[in-house]
Structure 1
Amino acid sequence: MKLLSSFIIFIFPLVFPCVILSSKSYQQLQLPGVVGPESLAFDCNGEGPYVGVSDGRILKWKAANSGWTEFATTAPHRAREICDGSTNTTLEPLCGRPLGIKFNPVTCDLYIADAYFGLMVVGPNGGQAQQLASSAGGIPFRFTNDLDIDPNTGIVYFTDSSIYFQRRQYFMSIATGDRSGRLLKYDPLKKNVTVMYNGLSFPNGVALSNNNSFLLLAESATLKILRFWLQGERTTYTPQLFAEMPRFPDNIKSDSKGEFWIAMNSARGKIESNKKTAFCEETAKPWFLRDPVGVKFDVNGNVVDVLDGNEGNTLNSVSEVQEYGGYLYTGSSVQPYVVVIKA
């Protein structure tokens, strides 16, 4: 592990003024010749992080002295001589590209949203992942993206960002105004997939609330976070606006307190031109930071914490912010490392 410089984490109470806590040191977990640790997961023993990377493998972080080891692969006929170490996006349909990953805390199985091979699962010991679903309603998945799991039922909620464009063509999905994305759920008892909602514009990250009463979904192309109620009188699977983001939202992760970290992947430096200003009482400065790459919300949609990229390259293209064991872990769709920040 290489100890680097520092970031500043700003905490915003629901009642202003804004409060700056302190600078926090951070580390980089350098990947072995691959890139793109899009999503992170920790297993039932608290080990990890695990990440899916550009050559189609799931890697596990062991320790500073032993680094990363291979845990699983997704492509059913993956050619190691071609795929291992690949950073070439044209090889993704052959090698696989695992995006969202999460362990079921009950079964300890790892569920995987592979962009090309659909919803998959692998046991606690890893190996070759098994495909659970590759289509819904007779329409194949083209861009399986992220997932979350209800530990009480085992139901997996996941997103298919487009039925027309694959991950390698993600820009075309946004540029053409494609609204073919879907929110889906997989029932492990019935072994079937249900389309919960379609007509979404690049649905991306998805995360359940701590009591599983609702889920949040990042609709990246519209810069919106949508809420879907899953329990109670409001259970209609009709989206409700939860928050509007200043940049493209990516993955969403809940923490132990039931709050949500939302990563913002791109369009850095453009926030002040399109975000309504709200001022802190004492400093007379906007609540938002000059370069926010992650924002934490409470269940009511209030901002409670912001991670600032400080206009540096280290936190460029942040795809996920996950709080675990007193640290913030950040993933990226393009960087060759995972960033670890003392929370």
Structure 2
Amino acid sequence: MADSRSQTVSQSQASSAGHQPRKRLWRPFITVLFTMFPVVAAMLVYQLDSFDPAPLPIHELGQAPVVISLRNDRMLQGAELLGVGELQEPEDIAYDPTANVVYTGCHDGWIKRVRLSDSVVENFVNTHGRPLGLALGHNKEIIVADAYKGLLNISKDGEVELLTDEADGHKFKLTDGVDIADNGMIYFTDASYKYNLNEDIWDILEGKPHGRFMSFDPVTRKTDVLVSHLYFANGVAVSPNQDHAIFCETVIKYYIKGSKQGGLETFIDDLPGFPDNIKYDGDGHYWIALPSANSVPLDIAFRYPFIRKVMAIAMKYIGRLPTEKDAGVLVVDLEGKPVAHYHDHRLSMITSGMKIGNRVYCGSVRHPHILKLNLAKENLWLSSTITMQ
């Protein structure tokens, strides 16, 4: 009986000993399989994804940092927040000096009116779209660049009229910035004729020029494409002498009359951030909103299309990456020379900055308020070259 048990145990041990080498042979294979599977899967996803980013031209890539003489890098410290909870992502601002109110377009389609005397917020009109750029017309109407509707005219009584929503056979997909010349001509941008506002990040990452700078004549009702093949065309401001307009790609000057009519020049480049709306303050300066500062990772991504494709694929599965930070406004003179930079590393997506008196009012596509900064109380410090962070 004992011999039988001993023989069974011996056979079991022999069988176990025979299996162990086989297990050891399988372990490296399993390890390699589990290591390689996600790599192969990622490569397949990359190859099969149709998103096809293009190399960007050199003028769209970060170069030597701009030198700005004065700065305030703690913009939030002395700021007051207007309309908290009543303004959903107020992107741009238009000022009516006779009524002492600002108008702003919100995410929910409402254009709201904020009284500067007491900060009371009032509903004005709902476009049932997404109002972005705003400009006050000569008859107190509001001209609206609505991302989804096109270029709108809103009378002082709140009547909404579509002015234009297409040009040269292309419907507007992302009507963005707007300003009005003294002669009534309206200048505006369509950031992309391919991607809408919900898809704007794809336009930026794709690196292909789908933007246009246009004019609309309210007398003839004609829409003209003045400049095409722009990279995410954005804010617009007509110069005080009315001979040119500046608009954001990286800020470009376009001559609207005179001997240089139709000509283009670089107004300012190598900005410390990505530009959005531009406002002239009536005092010899433009205020350029910078929703996000430059950064080394983003600069590298824009130089290499395959990195932008990886970013795009990642965003499809995990959402938009939190890359925007250190937003603010850049002040430049009429020649494009930087004068001052107000910003804060805690801020993101500041999309407009308008100086009214000795205060600047900033809109945002992320925050539920307008930021108000008293320039008389907030110091500016001497600064050296703005470096990437």
Q: What's the TM-score, normalizing by structure 1?
A: 0.76
Task: Give the root-mean-square deviation of aligned CA atoms.
Answer: 2.8
Q: 2:235 pairs with 180, 205, 216, which one?
A: 205
Partner AA of 2:279 in structure 1: K
Which of 257, 282, 287 in structure 2 is aligned with 1:261?
287
Conservation of the 8 A alpha-carbon contact between 1:160 and 1:183:
yes
**CA deviation after TM superposition for structure 1 residue 300, in Å:** 1.5
Partner of 2:82: 29
3-state DSSP of counterpart to 1:244: coil
Instruction: Tell me which protein shows more strand as a share of its residues.
Output: 1
Residue 195 in structure 1 maps to residue 221 in structure 2: no
Partner of 1:49: 102
Measure how far apart 1:269 and its partner are: 5.8
Q: Which moved more, 1:136-145 or 1:259-268?
A: 259-268
SS of the equivalent of 1:170 reads helix
2:192 paired residue number: 162
Task: Tell me whether 1:142 sits opposite 2:173 in the alignment.
Answer: yes
Would the aligned equivalents of 2:292 and 2:327 in 1 still touch at CA under 8 Å?
no
Report which stretch shifted further, 245-254 or 155-164.
Answer: 245-254
Q: Is the 8 A contact 1:264 1:294 kept in 2?
A: yes
Cα distance 1:33–1:326, how it changes in 2: closer, same or farther (>3 A)?
closer
Check if 1:216 corresponds to 2:269.
Answer: no
Equivalent position of 1:307 in the other structure: 342
Cα deviation for residue 18 of structure 1 reads 5.3
Greater RCO, 1 or 2 (C-alpha within 8 Å, sep 6+): 2
Listed one character per residue, the Cα deviations across residues 58-92 of structure 1 (whole Å, up to 9, x for unaligned) are 001136767211111213xxxxxxxxxxxxxxxxx
Alpha-carbon contact 1:207-1:253 (below 8 Å) kept: yes
Aligned partners of 1:319, 1:52: CA distance in 2, in Å?
Answer: 12
**3-state SS of 1:172 partner:** helix
Q: What is the TM-score normalised by the length of structure 2?
A: 0.67
Q: Is the 8 A contact 1:32 1:68 kept in 2?
A: no
Cα distance change, pair 231–27 in 1 and its aligned pair in 2 (3 A)? same
1:167-210 CA-partner distances (Å, limit 9, x unpaired): 11000001111202100000011011110010001001111111
Q: 1:301 deviation in Å?
A: 1.7
1:338 correspondence with 2:373: no
Aligned counterpart, 1:236 = 262
Aligned residue for 1:175, secondary structure, equals helix
Preserved contact between residue 70 and residue 340 of structure 2 (Cα < 8 Å):
no
Partners of 1:99 and 1:292 in 2: CA distance: 18
- Equivalent in 186, 204, 209 of residue 179 of structure 1: 209
The 5 Å alignment of 1:57-76 reads 57-62=110-115, 67-75=120-128
Match of 1:118 among 150, 155, 166: 150
The 8 Å contact of residues 69 and 338 in structure 2, kept in 1 or not, is answered as no
3-state DSSP class of the match of 1:203?
coil
8 Å Cα contact 1:34-1:55 kept in structure 2: no
Identity score, percent: 28
Question: 2:329 corresponds to which residue?
Answer: 294
In structure 2, relative to structure 1, the CA distance for the partners of 1:74 and 1:268 (3 Å cut) is: same
1:120-139 alpha-carbon deviations (Å, 9 max, x no partner): 011123x2421110111121
* Deviation larger for 297-306 or 194-203: 297-306
Deviations 1:239-276 (A, max 9, x none): 435332122111111111231111111246659x89xx
Q: 1: CA distance between counterparts of 2:201 and 2:217?
A: 31
Q: Distance in 2 between matches of 1:141 and 1:194?
A: 13
Q: SS of the residue aligned with 2:240? A: coil
Say whether the 8 Å CA contact 2:291–2:327 is kept in structure 1. Answer: no
Is residue 197–residue 237 contact of structure 1 (8 Å, CA) maintained in 2?
Answer: no
Q: Which amino acid counterpart does residue 164 of structure 1 have in structure 2?
A: K
| Distance in 2 of aligned mates of 1:98 and 1:156 | 16
1:78 maps to none
Q: Which 5+ residue runs of structure 2 have no aligned equivalent?
A: 1-66, 301-324, 376-389
Whichever structure has more helix as a proportion of its residues is: 2
Deviations 1:297-316 (A, max 9, x none): 1122211121121x22xx32
Structure 1, gaps ≥5 residues long: 1-14, 76-95, 275-289
Q: Is the 1:49–1:60 Cα contact (8 Å) retained in structure 2?
A: yes
